[in-house]
Structure 1
Amino acid sequence: MANRNWIATLTALALAACNSAGDAPTQSALATTGVTDAMLAAGVGDEWLSYGGGYDEQRFSPLTQISDQNVGELGLAWFADLDTARGQEATPLMHDGTLYVSTAWSMVKAYDAKTGALKWSYDPQVPRETLVRVCCDAVNRGVALYGDKVYVATLDGRLVALDMKTGKEAWSKMTVPDQESYAITGAPRIAKGKVLIGSAGSEYRARGYISAYDAQTGEMVWRFHTVPGNPRDGFENDAMARAAKTWEGKWWEFGGGGTVWDSITYDPGTNLVYFGTGNAEPWNPKTNDRGLGDALYTSSIVAVNADTGEYAWHFQETPEDRWDFDSNSQITIANLDVDGAQRRVVMHAPKNGFYYVLDAKTGKFLSGEPFAPVNWADGLDPVTGRPNIRPEARYEQTGEMFLGTPGLYGAHTWHPMSFSPNTGLMYIPANNTAQPYLADENFEGSDIGGQMGIDGASVSLPADKKARADAMAATTGHLLAWDPVTQTEKWRVEYPGPSNGGTMSTAGNLVFQGTAGGEFRAYSADAGKQLWSFPAQTGIIAAPMTYAIDGEQYVAILAGWGGLWDIYPGLLSGKSGPMRNISRLLVFKLGANGKLPPAPPMNKMVLDPPPFTGTQKQVDQGKALFARYCSGCHGDAAISGALNPDLRHSGAIASADTIKAVVLDGALKHNGMVSFKSAVKAADAEAIRQYLIKRANEDKALEGT
């Protein structure tokens, strides 16, 4: 440890940086004890110190005690039940014998990494009504470790530093501009004494950014916005002035989007921070007359100087994004053989279905090929990497519905991929999904709910057996082993549905992944042969990690079904099988024989709705209102997943007064169901009720055929 501290001290530099408001330069002191910069730069060994394993975000472990020869002997060492029945997306971190993990609602827990004994627990007390501005569950993807502190970003927008030993707050800073359009679900990252974090909100009225905070004091060092603001206010820098030329209309009135809600990667070799940005907002470009410009820097990878936040380069993967093709999937750095020479590269497999390899220093496009079915573009320009967008994909121009592949869920979204230097392969949790897009010609902005400009009602899945069967058959997932040098598939493992968990690869020739169907599996990294599985009793969407203590290797993963796929796609959310949320931390080692308690039975809900007494006009009105304001939590066509109430089964729909109390008065705001009275009136609430009754009766009749 002394040598590491000496190296860190020698390499410490005075880090002068200005934030976007032009404040005086500040300094960030490098850590010389606890988790140091040198330790983070060294990457994964016996400890797992950062979200992606190391600065390169490869999620590869050199540990070999657990290998393809003995992984069949892996057993449950210990488990810990969690007190949040929402989706679990975090990657645990391990340092000095302690396992640190965040859970839903941004809670943090510290466990003895050998025994599972709880050392401390922290609850930031996130208001449950925060859910109204969160597209995809009350999730949190993990913490950061630096010095003697643990850092967590909370759903309601705070960045909190905790004492590593006790879990007590050292400092807390509100990082988001308002409490209407912004939230945080991502994990912080560390770069040279600074904590990096962005926000979510590209479906609301957010203006994207990434910020750097001094790890010791919590003071903001710099902020880089990803889209330009109102030109009348002036631009913060030349990058914003250049970006403004790619927008039309009054884009700033809806914020612009481009939020940095997940991927952040720091590369000490280039001293650059790479981050992905979200979609332009609204999705439908006609909504705010933003035109057919690129809408920079949305759906892009952007690189900035780690010391100052100054723009270095960008590569836009999806110009004029109207499909929700966020570029927030994990960004991985590696040295690859490119045209016969070693080159430092950035690799990315975003939602739009293309796999990109870029030069890490300049952002130059090196190669790109589709790793999934793609119909929104006819390939990439071989020199620039720019997509050739098909005319029919510009649905707001044609006025017709466009069935896009991939859809808004993406060919690969936030679920982490892993890269093995041993095999040279990237292991991607891939999805085969489609999405119908149709412009809402009558859309008007509101002060609550998503602001996408999309007609979700007209394209919702009908109560038709054949249509539903066709949609189910076309919706699958798989584990994909991809060669980034040749841009070709090497092997795949098929899954019934999408939204399977993130991956981790190891020097033991293994790839670990949890499934949406409730298994934790190990495959051979070279050939994709399944070697081991464990029934987790719940869907797994998070990624595993591994560590070693006293010569024993452990593998840990958070289990707990949830996230976007459980919430929005209605009937399709159950494609991998009927799931429920049982949130647990599972830890394994060779020779262990621990057992989980028996899973509670899954009770089949029977539709028993009141008779429909409304009018077709009410149903049409209620369908449109439900699609805009309710489907994001209660599912397409009023069919929900496992987490949120399925309103077809709710007793509340039998009473007009009860529905009004919930929708207008906010009677259930303590559960996240706030009042929508600013956008929905009494007659609207009744129309929604009649739509729900009609839908429940339709599906009851369908079940009987």
Structure 2
Amino acid sequence: MRITSPITAVAAAAFTILSSWAAGSQAAPVDGARIQAADREPGNWMSHGRSYDEQRYSPLAKIDQANVGQLGLAWTYKLDVDRGVEATPIVVDGIMYTTGAYSIVYALDARSGKLLWKYDPQVPRDWSGNGCCDVVNRGVAAWKGKVYVGSFDGRLIALDARTGKPAWTTDTVIDRNRSYTITGAPRVVKDKVIIGNGGAEMGVRGYVSAYDAASGKLLWRFFTVPGDPKQPPENKAMEMARKTWSGDAYVQQGGGGTVWDSMAYDPELDLLYVGTGNGSMWNRKVRSPGGGDNLFLSSIIALKPDSGEYVWHYQTTPGDTWDYTATQHIILADLRIKGELRKVLMQAPKNAFFYVIDRKTGELISAEKFAPSNWASHVDMKTGRPVENPEADWTKEARLIFPSPFGAHNWQPMSFNPKTGLVYIPMQETLILLAPDNNAKYVRKGIFNVGLQPFDMPEDPKGLQQVADAHKGHLLAWDPVAQKAAWDQPHVTIWNGGTLSTAGGLVFQGSADGRAVAYAADTGKKLWEAPANTGVMAGPVTYTVDGEQYVTFMAGWGGAFALGGAMANVAKVRPEARVLTYKLGGKAKMPAPKRVMASLPKLPPVTATPEQLALGRALFNGYCSVCHGFNAISGGVLPDLRYLTPEKHQIFAGILAGAYLQKGMPAFADLLPPDYQAVLQQYIIKRAHDLEQELAQPQKDAAR
């Protein structure tokens, strides 16, 4: 009788899998049974959160607290587009499937980083302006030989996992005259590909849809907010929701409630959980003048995955008017609370409360603040509702609010370690001054339709630094049973990466200032770090090939905070999109960081009056700042318009008219008559002169 060692057996199995893949057999043979039994093959990462419960916890322990300091770079792979990277890689049987900007899909050898195939969905660059927060993508789903990706322009695409060739494509967008996008990763449940959409800021109606995994046929769709009250509601859930809205202004505004990120599935209860986004418009006085909770904004909804039928919901922020989405990461776990083992759902949404909910019934078990906030004092456990602070109602007059729409926790995924019992949250302290525009009307697609005045950020460097200093990033270890912090690691700024926890007693996280880091899961002690050359926002994963454990970080700076401008410059990074994979004893070399050297061109004169420049500033911050930064200070992702050359200034009107549509620059000429275009350009020129003076100041100081 021949005896084979476990190591030899694993290596032989891996060789067989890779050989059969290369020979043409089915790749990515993932199904529900395999995902449910994920702990039996911990070397794979087969679903977005590794398993249906989305815990982002790996049983792998070869890399542990004792040896993590020996991690070295195993391989890197350069992505095509240097923009924000938010994907969680899927790793199945030695093959990694991941995405970059503009929804480009890559299949890589997980051992070496060698490209096996690439698929570019050819997202039209003129669709870029329809998104709020960069042309990002959070990854793919794998199922029965196919890889599924949602493209930024709203298509759902099935690819052959072996070749990358499209098997089918379907359009998920219900209205091409609205700014629908897809940035989230699909999930596959019971042969159904589940996908939502983004666009609430831009004025869309939210929904989540299920498509047949084999054919792409639409199986069901659940709208998250009601439609036109003049028409019959789609189902009983929409009939219930409609009673919580007033008037019909929301129909033109879109309503919002988009399912742009979080989902989880409980196979035992056979329930699909989705998180919904903010209202459209943000301003509830404009959106629903008579008040109301505006279901199902900022809610967690339980649905039957076979039919999309509503089962229960819990609304984290009734009548949301602060952009406090509940689209943040949802985790399922079984926790012992007051001596009873409870099947719970956990979420730490933007609004700064950590929620523990009975995932069978939707009953609120507990809710406590995990970050500073002033919009509500606490959650009333009798009603399950937040007790709002009247001073946080900015629909009447400007108010300083925290957290800001960046949230106390944004899309970056958290993780749960069942050994420590802790949840590891990319927490952030943020604030904003919100001022109402109660006469706001829906304008058109490609424009923020939120019902507030343009954000007023200081122009001077000292004032900007004060605002930046008020924004603080943390890696927070949270005890969901005791509802209190266990430990806290501060960061340079906000917008740090998602987390991964492992049986090796580790928490991995990337940082906004360009590092890959490992911490002790029990104490928070930093044990290892490596340079990433760019901001790291995505959630890392770990896997094994041939018995070797790897840790992968998707690196690339971008997203809403980075596009916003000056505050993001505290991170001192620029976009550089790469896959970074580490292993014990890795010897690969990190490529030198990209250097961007720019000098101011010869500047045109400022001819506008102070009053005209004030108008130009309002126009810039109202229309341009979302991409090019408040007060014309870029965050480094998209061009800094203060550096426009004389040639670009000569064709300024043409650019606003759409000359650069295929480069991703939207047209604004229909919103800006020629005199407005002139004062907008003058403001940009004025800000270039301001920068020239700032750059000259150190030389003047040195000469004194």
**Normalized against structure 2, the TM-score is what?**
0.92
> Which residue in the other structure is 1:211 paired with?
209
Pairing of 1:541-552 with structure 2 (within 5 A): 541-552=537-548
> Which residue in the other structure is 2:78 paired with?
81
Asked if the contact 2:83/2:556 (under 8 Å) is kept, the reply is yes
Which of residues 593, 596, 608 in structure 1 aligns to 2:587?
A: 593
Pairing of 1:548-587 with structure 2 (within 5 A): 548-568=544-564, 570-576=565-571, 578-587=572-581
Q: SS where residue 75 of structure 1 aligns?
A: strand
Pairing of 1:369-408 with structure 2 (within 5 A): 369-397=368-396, 399=397, 401-408=398-405
> Which residue in the other structure is 2:191 paired with?
193
Q: More displaced, 598-607 or 43-52?
A: 598-607
Deviation at residue 618 of structure 1 after TM alignment? 2.3
Count of residues in correspondence between the two structures: 667
> Which residue in the other structure is 1:345 paired with?
344
Task: Tell me the distance in 2 between the aligned counterparts of 1:539 and 1:147.
Answer: 34
Task: Tell me the distance in 2 between the aligned counterparts of 1:699 and 1:442.
Answer: 35
Which of residues 670, 686, 689 in structure 2 aligns to 1:694?
A: 686
Which of residues 242, 245, 270 in structure 2 aligns to 1:244?
A: 242
Tell me, which stretches of 5 or more residues in structure 2 are unaligned? 1-25, 698-704
Q: SS where residue 347 of structure 1 aligns?
A: strand
Sequence identity, in percent? 47
Amino acid at match of 2:566: L
Amino acid at match of 1:107: I
Deviation at residue 696 of structure 1 after TM alignment? 2.9
Asked if the contact 2:252/2:442 (under 8 Å) is kept, the reply is no
Asked if the contact 2:465/2:567 (under 8 Å) is kept, the reply is no
Q: More displaced, 163-172 or 383-392?
A: 383-392
> Which residue in the other structure is 1:16 paired with?
none
Amino acid at match of 1:515: S
Matching of residue 118 in structure 1 with residue 110 in structure 2: no
Over 3 Å counting, the alpha-carbon distance change for 1:120 and 1:639 in structure 2 is: same
Deviation per CA, 1:57-90: give whole Å up to 9, x if none. Answer: 0000000111111111111111111111111100
Matching of residue 626 in structure 1 with residue 624 in structure 2: no
Asked if the contact 1:608/1:649 (under 8 Å) is kept, the reply is no
Deviation at residue 601 of structure 1 after TM alignment? 3.0
Q: SS where residue 279 of structure 2 aligns?
A: coil
Matching of residue 659 in structure 1 with residue 652 in structure 2: yes
Tell me, which stretches of 5 or more residues in structure 1 are unaligned? 1-30
Deviation per CA, 1:466-507: give whole Å up to 9, x if none. Answer: 422321221110100000000000001101100001000000
Deviation at residue 582 of structure 1 after TM alignment? 1.3
Deviation per CA, 1:90-134: give whole Å up to 9, x if none. Answer: 011111211111111101111111122111110000001111110
Deviation per CA, 1:279-320: give whole Å up to 9, x if none. Answer: 011011233443321111001111111111110111110111
> Which residue in the other structure is 2:256 paired with?
257
**Normalized against structure 1, the TM-score is what?**
0.92
Deviation at residue 700 of structure 1 after TM alignment? 3.8
Task: Tell me the distance in 1 between the aligned counterparts of 2:578 and 2:461.
Answer: 36
Asked if the contact 1:72/1:531 (under 8 Å) is kept, the reply is yes
> Which residue in the other structure is 2:12 paired with?
none
> Which residue in the other structure is 2:412 paired with?
415
> Which residue in the other structure is 1:500 paired with?
496
Matching of residue 61 in structure 1 with residue 58 in structure 2: yes
Amino acid at match of 1:611: P
Deviation at residue 652 of structure 1 after TM alignment? 5.5
Q: SS where residue 395 of structure 1 aligns?
A: coil
Deviation at residue 590 of structure 1 after TM alignment? 0.9
Asked if the contact 1:607/1:700 (under 8 Å) is kept, the reply is no
Over 3 Å counting, the alpha-carbon distance change for 1:653 and 1:303 in structure 2 is: farther
Deviation at residue 336 of structure 1 after TM alignment? 0.5
> Which residue in the other structure is 2:34 paired with?
39
Over 3 Å counting, the alpha-carbon distance change for 1:124 and 1:73 in structure 2 is: same
Q: More displaced, 387-396 or 54-63?
A: 387-396
Task: Tell me the distance in 1 between the aligned counterparts of 2:581 and 2:502.
Answer: 16
Deviation at residue 408 of structure 1 after TM alignment? 0.6
> Which residue in the other structure is 1:511 paired with?
507
Deviation per CA, 1:207-263: give whole Å up to 9, x if none. Answer: 000001110111111110000000112100111111111111221111100000000
Deviation per CA, 1:386-413: give whole Å up to 9, x if none. Answer: 111111211112x2x1111110100101
Asked if the contact 2:27/2:145 (under 8 Å) is kept, the reply is no
> Which residue in the other structure is 1:329 paired with?
328
Which of residues 642, 647, 651 in structure 1 aligns to 2:641?
A: 647
Asked if the contact 1:331/1:348 (under 8 Å) is kept, the reply is yes
Task: Tell me the distance in 1 between the aligned counterparts of 2:442 and 2:316.
Answer: 27
Over 3 Å counting, the alpha-carbon distance change for 1:120 and 1:33 in structure 2 is: closer
Q: CA RMSD in A?
A: 1.7
Q: SS where residue 72 of structure 1 aligns?
A: helix
> Which residue in the other structure is 1:483 paired with?
479
Task: Tell me the distance in 2 between the aligned counterparts of 1:265 and 1:244.
Answer: 26
Task: Tell me the distance in 1 between the aligned counterparts of 2:159 and 2:490.
Answer: 41
Over 3 Å counting, the alpha-carbon distance change for 1:474 and 1:690 in structure 2 is: same
Deviation at residue 50 of structure 1 after TM alignment? 0.7
Asked if the contact 1:607/1:696 (under 8 Å) is kept, the reply is no
Deviation at residue 616 of structure 1 after TM alignment? 3.0
Asked if the contact 2:108/2:114 (under 8 Å) is kept, the reply is yes
Task: Tell me the distance in 1 between the aligned counterparts of 2:264 and 2:27.
Answer: 22
Task: Tell me the distance in 2 between the aligned counterparts of 1:395 and 1:579.
Answer: 34
